[in-house]
Each structure stands twice: as structure tokens, then as C-alpha cells.
Amino acid sequence: MKIYVSVDMEGLAGIATWGEVDTSKKEASEALQEHLRALLEGLFSSGVGIDQVLICDAHGSGTAIPYKICEEFDNVSLVHGPIRKDYMMSGLDSTFDRVIFLGYHAGIGTKNAIMDHTYSSSLIHNVWINGKRMNEALINAGFAAHHNVPICLVVGDGALKEELDKEFHGTWLFVDTKMGLGRYAAIMKPKKRLFEEMKRAAAEAVKIPRNELVLYGFDAPVELKIEMKDTVYADMAELIPGVERIDGRTVRFVHNDYPVVFNTIMAIVYVAMAARDWRS
């Protein structure tokens, strides 16, 4: 069995502010590694033959997970580094059996969601695909579904579960790490209990029959709409071929191939980032 794990940070326990997801700080790096170890221990204790686990370092610039995690477990590889195709799902293809999301969070604008955002907290105000408001888990699940790879487990905050319950159909597991009280405050689950739940869920998730798992795809043509936080970001985004300006802050892109739409999100983020940094 081949398992793909996409790892973010805002949905981890013990984290409530942006400073706490800065992995140049020892505490943040250790928190991330503790969660990841618990997940991997659960996977490899399942009794299921796991040939490969590919971890995608999907937080920020993609440099949050130390390479040494690959020394601690057999058959574990790591996608690491910034500016890459498919970003939060780099390396995934149809040879994988199932996908796990670790440390994921609710979408931008969600009440009582820790550091709510969708791909960029400083550049993007809202994202819709085929008319539905998105979060990162839904966007990335769509990429997995394009490759016919289902979702089996999500680890994240309670607000995310409420969003996914409305959209995911099939058998899947969720481990909640904390319950938000606001954008920067939450009740954190006891660490020992959380890691035990994660280990059990990981071991169970790989035993669910593949045909019962969640495939969350989008019908073609796929319409992407992004409302930027500033008109200058939309000024930049509409320079991308195929991107249409709808109003002052909103752009639209339509394509039949979901990966093209998926990568257009990051293209828009990168050009808007250039506008933000130029202005500053």
C-alpha cells in the first residue's frame, strides 16, 4: 500500500497564532514532528503492508519538516522545498492508495476557526470552485480525486470537521485537535489523548476498503473564482492568460483539467505576492 500524507500546521494542537507556526522556532518544529510521529507510528502499527509513505511538506514555503523524519521510519519519503508544481499535493499520482491530511484547518471566513485562511491569509479573501466556497482540504481533495485517490483520514480543528461533514460522502475518519474560541484562541485537546486517537485512527484508516472512501471531485468545466484582499492583487492576477477580471477584487478562471485550475490558484498567489512585496 502507498500512502500520501499532506502536512499543514495551523490545524495542529497547541497552535493558535502565526508566531507558533514559525518552524524556525524550536517549539513549533517539535510540535509538528510530534504529531507526524504519532501518525506514522499508527500507520506502521496497523499490520497492513505499507510499501511507501510520501509526506508532502505543505506548510508555508514547504520547509517545515526536517529530513530526519525519513531516518526514523522505513519507506518514508519527503517532498520538501518551495516553488513547486502541485504545491500542497506535489508527488501525488494514481499509484497511491489513499490520502491523509494532517494539521489542516477551516477555510477563510469560518467562525471560531484557528487562523482561518485558504491558501493565503494576506492575499485571498475568498475562494469558490463551481460555486462552492472552498477550504484547502476540499481543494486538495479535488486534486486527489482527479488521480482517483480517495481521502481516508483528516487531522485538524473542530471547525474544519463541520465544513467537511457537509461535503465528504463515504467512509472517512477525522481526529479533532482543538476547538476554536476565536481566530487566535482554542481549547486544546490533551496531548496524550490526542496522540493515542491519532495512532488508532491512522491504523484504522488504512483498513477501510478503498471503494468505501471519499472521492471528492469537481465536474468539468471547473470554474475557479478568487476574491482578492486588494484590487492591486486582482490587477496582477488578470495578467495571467485565461484569468478574467470580474470586479475590483475578484478574478475567474475556467478549465476542463482540474490540475490546471489547481495550479492556477498558486500562480495567482505568487503574482499577488509580488504586488504585495513591491508595494511594501
Q: What is the pLDDT of residues 75-91, one digit of tens each?
A: 999 999 999 999 999 99
> How deeply is 265 buried, as exposed, middle or buried, from its count of CB atoms within 10 A (0-12, 13-18, 19+)?
buried
**Does 10 carry a binding-site annotation?**
yes
Question: Can you tell me the mean pLDDT for 99-106?
Answer: 98
**Which amino acid belongs to residue 262?**
F
**Does 35 carry a binding-site annotation?**
no
**Does 163 carry a binding-site annotation?**
no
Classify residue 159 by its DSSP letter: H
Instruction: Write down the pLDDT at residue 277.
Output: 80
Question: What is the set of active-site residues?
Answer: 117
For 185-196, write each residue's pLDDT tens digit.
999 999 999 999
Question: Can you tell me the mean pLDDT for 170-187?
Answer: 97
Least confidently predicted of 27-41, 156-170, 255-269: 27-41
Whole-number Å distance between alpha carbons of 174 and 40: 16
Q: Which of 160, 148, 161, 167 minimizes the C-alpha distance to 115?
A: 160
pTM of the model: 0.96
Least confidently predicted of 17-21, 99-103, 214-218: 17-21
223 close to 158: Cβ distance less than 8 angstroms? no
179 close to 162: Cβ distance less than 8 angstroms? no
In percent, the amount of the chain with pLDDT more than 90 equals: 88
For 113-170, write each residue's pLDDT tens digit.
999 999 998 999 999 999 999 999 999 999 999 999 999 999 999 999 999 999 999 9
**Does 162 carry a binding-site annotation?**
no
Q: Length of the chain, please?
A: 280
As a whole number, the mean pLDDT across the chain is 95
Instruction: Write down the pLDDT at residue 280.
Output: 57
Question: Can you tell me the mean pLDDT for 52-69?
Answer: 93
Question: Can you tell me the mean pLDDT for 97-122?
Answer: 95
Least confidently predicted of 25-34, 49-58, 191-200, 261-270: 25-34
Whole-number Å distance between alpha carbons of 69 and 105: 23
Phi/psi for 76 (5° steps) reads -110, 125
Which DSSP string do the residues of 168-223 spell out, in sequence order? --SB-EEEE-EEEEETTEEEEPPHHHHHHHHHHHHHHHTTS-GGGBB----PSSEE
Q: pLDDT category, 279, cuts 50, 70, 90? A: low
Instruction: Map out the domains of the chain with their CATH numbers.
Output: 2-212 (3.40.50.10780), 222-279 (3.30.1360.130)
Least confidently predicted of 204-208, 243-247, 271-275: 271-275
Look at residue 61 and tell me whether its pLDDT is greater than 70. yes
